[in-house]
Amino acid sequence: MFAWRITLDTNILISASLWERSSCSKLLQKFLEDDVSMFTSFAILDEFIRVLKRDFPDTGEEAKNRIQFIIKMLTVVYPETMIDIIKEDPSDNKILECAVASNSDYVITYDKHLLTIKEFQGIKIVTPEVMLKAIE
């Protein structure tokens, strides 16, 4: 059992929601089994819903149920500190803001701007595959 605190990027939420056999889905299942705390913010949830509607408008009933299930697993935090580290894509800063506000140990992402940083204020930034290897 791990006492980790995790912030999940939007791309991880989408992958876990839509593709049951994805690394992201497997990772979230493992987090559930190990009672890992997972965090999000309203800015991340807003982007998640916006991208789903824009890119996956014909999402089936099973995926919609998975989306609702995943959202229920997350704890919403309210970042008070604005972060301006990622200049190439400033919208990615919301992930770091959530991670700082939740005192996360890890950010799980596929975003190259975040992965390039590798660590921010002691928060490790890794892909789902790296995280899966660490917990198996």
Instruction: Indicate which CATH number applies to the domain containing 129.
Output: 3.40.50.1010
Tell me the C-alpha to C-alpha distance, in Å, between residue 129 and each of 25, 37, 61, 88, 126.
11, 18, 27, 24, 8
Q: What is the pLDDT of residues 67-118, one digit of tens each?
A: 788 888 899 999 999 999 999 999 999 999 999 999 999 999 999 999 999 9
Q: Quick one: pLDDT band at residue 66, thresholds 50, 70, 90?
A: confident
CA pair distance 113, 85, nearest whole angstrom? 10
Torsion, CA 56, CA 19, CA 96, CA 117, rounded to 10: -110
Residues of the domain holding 48: 5-135
Q: Is the pLDDT of residue 50 over 80?
A: yes
Tell me which residue has tokens 């899966």.
132
Distance (Å, whole) CA 111 – CA 16: 15
Please tell me the total count of domains within the chain: 1
Q: What is the pLDDT of residue 135?
A: 84
Q: What is the pLDDT of residue 132?
A: 92
H helix runs in 34-127, sequence order:
42-55, 61-73, 93-101, 112-117
Tell me the C-alpha distance between 23 and 31, whole Å.
12
What share of the chain in percent tops pLDDT 90? 67
Mean pLDDT of 8-17: 93
CA atoms of 62 and 38, how far apart (whole Å): 22
What average pLDDT does the structure give for the chain?
91
* Whether pLDDT at 60 is above 80: no
Q: Is the pLDDT of residue 129 over 90?
A: yes
Mean pLDDT, rounded, for 45-57: 86
Q: Chain-centre distance of CA 88, in angstroms?
A: 20
Type of residue at 131: M
| Mean pLDDT computed over 37-58 | 89
Q: What is the pTM of this model?
A: 0.91
pLDDT for 1 beyond 60: no
